[in-house]
C-alpha cells in the first residue's frame, strides 16, 4: 500500500507544488517510450493507422499539459520537442504523396507551435505558483524561528480564539504544552495550572477581550500557580491582527514573566513600610521634647533660641508629614489604607484647611468665596489631606504670584472643588503623569522645588476610593487648576 501511495504521490503534480524540483529524466523517459510503443502498436496490432495518429496527438497534448504542470517549462518543452520530432519521423517514414507530405509538414509546425505555447504558459504558471508557495513557506519558517527565539511568551490564535501557534517560552513559563486548537478562555478543562488569584475566564482573558472589542488590551497582570508549586506573575498584552480589508483574521498575546520585578517591588514596599514605621515613633517623641523644651525656655525670653526652636519645630513637622506620606503610599500599595466616612460640611473643611496652611504668614492670598453650606459623606481627614496637598502645591508652584482661588460647585449628582493658581503650569503631556506614584515633572524650573512626587498619587487614590475623580487643567507658564469631585450619593 505504501509503495502504491508513493507511486501516486510521485505522479500527482499537485503534490509537487512548491517543491521547486523539476525532473528531466521522467518526461524524457515517458516521451521516448510513447513513440516506441506507438510504432509497435501501428506495425503489430493496429488496423487503422490514421486512428492511431489521432490518439497520439491527443496523448501528446495531454503530456504537454501534464509535464509542464509537473516539471515546469522544461518538462513541457521536452514533451513538445520529442512529439514534433516523432511527427517528422512519421511524415518521412510513411511514403506520403507530395500533397500529403507538405500538409503534414504544415500541420506539424502548427501543432509544434501550439505545444510550445501551452508548455510556456502552463510551465510559467507552475513556476510562479512554486515561487509563491516557497516564499510563503520561507516567511513562515523565518517567523517561527523568531517566535521561538523571543524572550517572551507568544500565543497566536485564529479569529475564534483557537491556538494556531505558541512558542517554547510560554510553554517553559507555564510548565505545560499548549495543544493546538485549544480555545483561549473557553476550554477551562485544559488549563493545566491553577490561577493563583483568579481563573482566566473568557471575559477576563485579554486575548478574548481584544478579539471581542477588535482592539489591543495592554498590561493585564495575572497570578499563576504552576504545577510544580512555583508562583508566577505574568503581564499580558493582546491584540488582533486584521487583513487588508479590516477583517479579524487572528489574535496574538505577548506574555512576559514579571515575577522577579513584582518580588523586588514588594521587597521595596515592605522596606519603605518598615522604615517609615520605625521613623514615626522617634519623630513623634522628638516633637514632644521640642514642645517641652520650648515651654521651659520661654521664661528666658531669648528671641534667638525661640527662633531656632521654631525652625526645628517646622523641620520636624515637615519630616513627620513626609513619613506619614510614605506610610500612606505603602498602605495604598498593600490596600491597607482605611477610610471612616461621615457627613460633614466641605465648605467649612476648606476654610479650616486654608487657615491651617496659611497660619500667621500671608505671603500668598488664598481666595475662597464661601458658598452655602454643602454637605458630603466622606472621610473628613482624607479629604483634608487632598485639599492640603492641592493648596500647598498651588502655593509651592506659584511662589511669585500672590493669588490662589478656591471654588466649590454643586452639580446635580456631585460637588466639584477647584484649586487655581497662576504659577508655572504643567504641559499637556505631563498632565496625566503627575498623578502617578513618585512622578515629578523633570523641567529645569520644576527641579528647584522640594518634593517626592507622592502627594498627587495619594490624593488620586483617596478620591478614587470615594468614587470621585481628580484632574488638572493647565497651561504651561500660565498656571493650573486642579479639580476633584465627590459624588453626592452612593459612595
In angstroms, what is the minimal distance from the CB of 329 to ligand ADP?
A: 10
In angstroms, what is the minimal distance from the CB of 479 to ligand ADP?
A: 7
Which CB atom, from 261 or from 315, has the smaller least distance to ligand ADP?
315
In angstroms, what is the minimal distance from the CB of 260 to ligand ADP?
A: 28
Q: Which stretch binds ligand ADP (CB under 6 A): 15-23, 228-236, 316-324, 388-396?
A: 388-396
Q: Is 418 in the site for ligand ADP (CB under 6 A)?
A: no
Distances (CA, A) of 489 to 175, 202, 469, 485: 49, 33, 14, 12
One residue of 331, 453, 465, 476 binding ligand ADP per CB under 6 A:
453
Whether the CA torsion 282, 269, 455, 439 is positive or negative: it is positive
The residues, ordered by sequence, that sit 6+ positions from 468 with a Cβ below 8 Å of its Cβ are 414, 484, 485, 486, 487, 491
Distance CA 123, CA 102 (A): 31
Whether the CA torsion 277, 279, 283, 286 is positive or negative: it is positive
Which CB atom, from 19 or from 473, has the smaller least distance to ligand ADP?
473
Distance CA 79, CA 117 (A): 12
Q: Which residue is nearest to ligand ADP (CB)?
A: 451
Which CB atom, from 188 or from 478, has the smaller least distance to ligand ADP?
478
One residue of 127, 134, 306, 446 binding ligand ADP per CB under 6 A:
446
In angstroms, what is the minimal distance from the CB of 469 to ligand ADP?
A: 17
One residue of 208, 397, 422, 483 binding ligand ADP per CB under 6 A:
397
Strand-pair category, 365-368 with 403-410:
parallel
One residue of 426, 462, 463, 470 binding ligand ADP per CB under 6 A:
426
One residue of 214, 261, 452, 475 binding ligand ADP per CB under 6 A:
452
Distance CA 36, CA 32 (A): 7
One residue of 273, 276, 393, 485 binding ligand ADP per CB under 6 A:
393
User: Among residue numbers 201 through 220, which ones bind ligand ADP (CB under 6 A)?
Assistant: none
Which CB atom, from 36 or from 367, has the smaller least distance to ligand ADP?
367
Q: Is 385 in the site for ligand ADP (CB under 6 A)?
A: no
Contact 309, 297 (CB under 8 A): yes
Contact 188, 205 (CB under 8 A): no
309 — phi, psi (to 5°)?
-65, -40
Question: Can you list the pairs that 141-144 forms with residues at least 24 positions away whose Cβ atoms lie under 8 Å?
Answer: none
Distance CA 302, CA 307 (A): 9
In angstroms, what is the minimal distance from the CB of 459 to ligand ADP?
A: 8
Whether the CA torsion 87, 88, 94, 95 is positive or negative: it is positive
Which CB atom, from 153 or from 423, has the smaller least distance to ligand ADP?
423
Contact 430, 450 (CB under 8 A): no
Distance CA 353, CA 347 (A): 10
Q: Which stretch binds ligand ADP (CB under 6 A): 136-144, 284-292, 327-335, 423-431?
A: 423-431
* The residue to which cell 500541420 is assigned: 107
As a whole number of Å, the CA-based R_g of the chain is 42
Q: Which stretch binds ligand ADP (CB under 6 A): 144-152, 237-245, 257-265, 439-447?
A: 439-447
One residue of 79, 239, 480, 485 binding ligand ADP per CB under 6 A:
480
Contact 162, 179 (CB under 8 A): no
- Residues touching ligand ADP, count (CB under 6 A): 22
One residue of 440, 471, 487, 488 binding ligand ADP per CB under 6 A:
440
One residue of 404, 434, 470, 486 binding ligand ADP per CB under 6 A:
434
* The residue to which cell 483557537 is assigned: 162
In angstroms, what is the minimal distance from the CB of 221 to ligand ADP?
A: 24
Binding residues for ligand ADP, per CB under 6 A? Answer: 389, 393-394, 397, 421, 423-426, 434, 439-441, 446, 451-457, 480
Amino acid at each position: 500500500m505504501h509503495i502504491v501511495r508513493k507511486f501516486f504521490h510521485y505522479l500527482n503534480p499537485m503534490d509537487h507544488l512548491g517543491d521547486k524540483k523539476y525532473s528531466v529524466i521522467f518526461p524524457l523517459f515517458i516521451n521516448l517510450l510513447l513513440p516506441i510503443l506507438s510504432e509497435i502498436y501501428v506495425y503489430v496490432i493496429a488496423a487503422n493507422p490514421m486512428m492511431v495518429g489521432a490518439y497520439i496527438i491527443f496523448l501528446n497534448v495531454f503530456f504537454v499539459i501534464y509535464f509542464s504542470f509537473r516539471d515546469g517549462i522544461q518538462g513541457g518543452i521536452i514533451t513538445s520537442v520529442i512529439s514534433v520530432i516523432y511527427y517528422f519521423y512519421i511524415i518521412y517514414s510513411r511514403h506520403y504523396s507530395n500533397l500529403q507530405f507538405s500538409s503534414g509538414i504544415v500541420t506539424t509546425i502548427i501543432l509544434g507551435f501550439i505545444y510550445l505555447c501551452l508548455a510556456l504558459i502552463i510551465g510559467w504558471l507552475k513556476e510562479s505558483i512554486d515561487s509563491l508557495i516557497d516564499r510563503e513557506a520561507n516567511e513562515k519558517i523565518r517567523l517561527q524561528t523568531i517566535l521561538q527565539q523571543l524572550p517572551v511568551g507568544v500565543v497566536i490564535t485564529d479569529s475564534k480564539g483557537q491556538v494556531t501557534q505558541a512558542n517554547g517560552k510560554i510553554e517553559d513559563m507555564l510548565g505545560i504544552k499548549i495543544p493546538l486548537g485549544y480555545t483561549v478562555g473557553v476550554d477551562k478543562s485544559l488549563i493545566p495550572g491553577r490561577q493563583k488569584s483568579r481563573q482566566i475566564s473568557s471575559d477576563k482573558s485579554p486575548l478574548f477581550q481584544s478579539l471581542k472589542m477588535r482592539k489591543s488590551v495592554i498590561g493585564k497582570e495575572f497570578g499563576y500557580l504552576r504545577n510544580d508549586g512555583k508562583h508566577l506573575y505574568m503581564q499580558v498584552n493582546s491584540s488582533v491582527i486584521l487583513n487588508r480589508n479590516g477583517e479579524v483574521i487572528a489574535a496574538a498575546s505577548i506574555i512576559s514573566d514579571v515575577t522577579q520585578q513584582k518580588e523586588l517591588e514588594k521587597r521595596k514596599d515592605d522596606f519603605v513600610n518598615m522604615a517609615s514605621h520605625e521613623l514615626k515613633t522617634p519623630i513623634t517623641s522628638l516633637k514632644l521634647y521640642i514642645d517641652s523644651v520650648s515651654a521651659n525656655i520661654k521664661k528666658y525670653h531669648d528671641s534667638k533660641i525661640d527662633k531656632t526652636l521654631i525652625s526645628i519645630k517646622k523641620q520636624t513637622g515637615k519630616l513627620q508629614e513626609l513619613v506619614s506620606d510614605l506610610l500612606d503610599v505603602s498602605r495604598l500599595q498593600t490596600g491597607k489604607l482605611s477610610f471612616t466616612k461621615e457627613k460633614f460640611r466641605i465648605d467649612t473643611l476648606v476654610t479650616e484647611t486654608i487657615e491651617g496652611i496659611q497660619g500667621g504668614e500671608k505671603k500668598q492670598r488664598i481666595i475662597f468665596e464661601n458658598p452655602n453650606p454643602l454637605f458630603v459623606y466622606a472621610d473628613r481627614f482624607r479629604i483634608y489631606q487632598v485639599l492640603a496637598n492641592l493648596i500647598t502645591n498651588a502655593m509651592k508652584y506659584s511662589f511669585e504670584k500672590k493669588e490662589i482661588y478656591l471654588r466649590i460647585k454643586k452639580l446635580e449628582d456631585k460637588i466639584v472643588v477647584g484649586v487655581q493658581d497662576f504659577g508655572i503650569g504643567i504641559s499637556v503631556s505631563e498632565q496625566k503623569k503627575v498623578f502617578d506614584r513618585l512622578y515629578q515633572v523633570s523641567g529645569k524650573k520644576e527641579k528647584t522645588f522640594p518634593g517626592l512626587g507622592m502627594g498627587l498619587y495619594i490624593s488620586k487614590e483617596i478620591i478614587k476610593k470615594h468614587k470621585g475623580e481628580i484632574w488638572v487643567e493647565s497651561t504651561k507658564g500660565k498656571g493650573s487648576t486642579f479639580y476633584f469631585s465627590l459624588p453626592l450619593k452612593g459612595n
